[in-house]
């Protein structure tokens, strides 16, 4: 049979009485434990961090420590004397060896003239190194822009823009639709939102958020791919530009060593180098296409012809005179028909006389007549 309501009430009262009895016994046990602790701490010599021991009237008081008179303060001289202590010798600082440039040293038995020429070469080498550091390898080293570096990707309409996180929308209200969602334009967000609103205006929130997240990820991926493609194109264009500039440098330096800072013959002209560089910079600002060779030719035409080198002119004249003397000192002509040629045209006496009478000044004919007459050998 089931329990009656009166029986259930009696059982509840019994259970409550049992709880009260247990609580009372626990309280009594707690009081008993507290009394034991108090009795323990009341004993002489007992100590407990939570309760300081009581001091009884008959208990002997601990002796009070005698106060000592203050020590005399030392004078300033004594203080300075006491503070001055012998300094310990410091270990010498070991200098870190620095890499040095290659040094060229002549042997001690070298002559004074050799040492003088050697010092001149060192000074010239030092000057060339300074010019190399100052001008680089070509004009383009100072004209060309810096190397293309990958730019940090910018997501959003301005730097530092943080994409919006997925939001869970209340029932559809057009004014509550977010204007931007990550990198998605507002129009795309509006179009996606309309796809998840039924005729009654209810919004499929889960479907809308999933669609927005997926569209946002696709847009970000497309933007990243476009950025990578732009960087690759920029690097390829940079390599092509560098290759073309290297070709222009070789052609211009071959014709105009005056603009070659690395020229080993000492023909480098800093003034012409600077003029060509300024012309290239002006061309780029004005969007004028001109090669390095064309710029060098234009600057050279403005400067006029270069002054003649007297030593080179004299050397060329001497070489020309030696060559003409060598041609004149060749062997005698053979005047007979069918003879072998020895470097000059062989003609007969009659032909030479005919040419001379007709007013010709042909050298072979005149030489042949003079030889036949015995004037020259």
Note whether 213 and 166 are within 8 A (CB).
Answer: yes
**Residue in the structure block whose two tokens are 């106060």:** 67
Torsion of CA 82, 83, 88, 89, to 10 degrees: -110
* pLDDT at res. 227: 92
SS3 103: coil
CA 146 to chain centre: 9
* pLDDT at res. 317: 76
Tens of each residue's pLDDT in the chain, 377 residues? 445 555 556 677 787 787 778 777 776 766 666 666 666 556 554 444 444 445 455 545 555 445 455 455 455 444 444 444 555 555 555 445 444 555 667 777 778 888 888 888 888 878 777 766 666 666 667 666 554 444 555 555 555 555 555 555 455 444 444 444 567 778 888 888 888 888 788 888 888 888 888 888 888 888 899 999 999 999 998 889 888 888 888 898 888 888 888 888 888 888 888 899 899 898 888 888 888 889 889 988 887 665 556 677 677 777 887 787 777 766 554 444 444 444 455 556 666 666 666 655 555 666 676 677 665 66
Tell me the two tokens of residue 270: 């800093």
Neighbours of 221 (CB within 10 A): 10
Separation of alpha carbons 64 and 207, rounded Å = 85
Separation of alpha carbons 201 and 184, rounded Å = 23
Across the chain, mean pLDDT equals 69
Tell me the two tokens of residue 321: 């005179």
Quick: pLDDT tens for 281-335: 988 888 888 888 898 899 888 876 655 566 776 777 778 877 877 777 665 544 4
* pLDDT at res. 172: 47
**Residue in the structure block whose two tokens are 């179009």:** 191
Separation of alpha carbons 298 and 276, rounded Å = 9
Tell me the two tokens of residue 215: 């569209």
SS3 181: strand
- First-to-last alpha carbon distance for the chain, in angstroms, is 168
Neighbours of 335 (CB within 10 A): 16
Tell me the two tokens of residue 290: 């001109």
Tell me the two tokens of residue 60: 């002997």
* pLDDT at res. 118: 82
Indicate the burial class of 262 (C-beta count within 10 angstroms; 0-12, 13-18, 19 or more): middle
Note whether 139 and 251 are within 8 A (CB).
Answer: no
Separation of alpha carbons 82 and 89, rounded Å = 20
Separation of alpha carbons 115 and 96, rounded Å = 32
Look at residues 261, 255, 263 and name the one whose alpha carbon lies nearest to residue 292: 255
Helical ranges in the chain per DSSP H? 5-42, 76-83, 112-135, 140-143, 186-195, 205-255, 270-285, 292-303, 310-328, 349-357, 363-372
Separation of alpha carbons 365 and 355, rounded Å = 7
Question: Taking the alpha carbons of 281, 285, 286, 291 in that order, is the dihedral positive or negative?
Answer: positive
Instruction: Determine if residue 359 is left, alpha or beta; phi over 0 gives left, psi from -120 to 50 gives alpha, anything else beta.
Output: left
Q: What secondary structure letter does DSSP report for 196?
A: T
Long-range contacts of 260-266 (CB under 8 A, 24+ apart): 260/138, 261/131, 261/132, 261/134, 261/135, 261/136, 261/137, 261/138, 262/132, 262/137
Phi, psi angle pair for 141, to nearest 5°: -65, -25
């Amino acid at each position: 049979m089931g329990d009656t309501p009166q029986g259930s009430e009696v059982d509840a009262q019994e259970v409550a009485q049992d709880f009260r009895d247990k609580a009372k016994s626990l309280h009594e046990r707690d009081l008993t434990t507290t009394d034991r602790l108090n009795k323990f701490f009341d004993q002489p010599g007992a100590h407990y961090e939570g309760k300081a021991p009581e001091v009884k009237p008959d208990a002997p008081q601990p002796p009070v420590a005698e106060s000592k008179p203050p020590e005399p303060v030392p004078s300033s001289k004594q203080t300075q004397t006491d503070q001055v202590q012998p300094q310990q010798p410091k270990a010498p600082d070991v200098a870190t060896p620095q890499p040095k440039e290659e040094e060229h040293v002549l042997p001690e038995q070298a002559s004074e003239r050799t040492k003088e020429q050697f010092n001149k070469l060192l000074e010239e080498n030092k000057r060339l190194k300074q010019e190399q550091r100052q001008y680089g390898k070509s004009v383009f080293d100072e004209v060309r822009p810096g190397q293309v570096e990958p730019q940090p990707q910018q997501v959003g309409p301005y730097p530092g823009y943080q994409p919006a996180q997925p939001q869970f929308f209340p029932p559809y209200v057009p004014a509550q639709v977010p204007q931007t969602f990550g990198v998605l334009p507002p129009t795309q967000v509006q179009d996606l939102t309309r796809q998840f609103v039924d005729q009654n205006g209810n919004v499929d929130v889960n479907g809308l958020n999933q669609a927005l997240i997926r569209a946002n990820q696709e847009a970000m991926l497309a933007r990243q791919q476009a950025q990578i493609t732009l960087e690759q194109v920029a690097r390829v264009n940079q390599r092509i530009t560098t290759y073309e500039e290297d070709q222009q440098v070789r052609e211009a330096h071959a014709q105009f060593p005056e603009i070659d800072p690395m020229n080993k013959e000492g023909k480098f002209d800093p003034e012409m180098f600077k003029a060509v560089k300024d012309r290239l910079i002006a061309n780029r600002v004005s969007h004028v296409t001109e090669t390095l060779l064309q710029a060098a030719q234009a600057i050279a035409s403005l400067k006029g012809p270069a002054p003649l080198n007297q030593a080179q002119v004299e050397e060329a004249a001497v070489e020309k005179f030696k060559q003409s003397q060598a041609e004149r000192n060749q062997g005698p002509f053979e005047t007979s028909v069918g003879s072998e040629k020895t470097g000059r045209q062989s003609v007969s006496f009659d032909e030479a006389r005919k040419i001379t009478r007709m007013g010709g000044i042909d050298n072979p004919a005149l030489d042949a007549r003079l030889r036949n007459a015995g004037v020259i050998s």
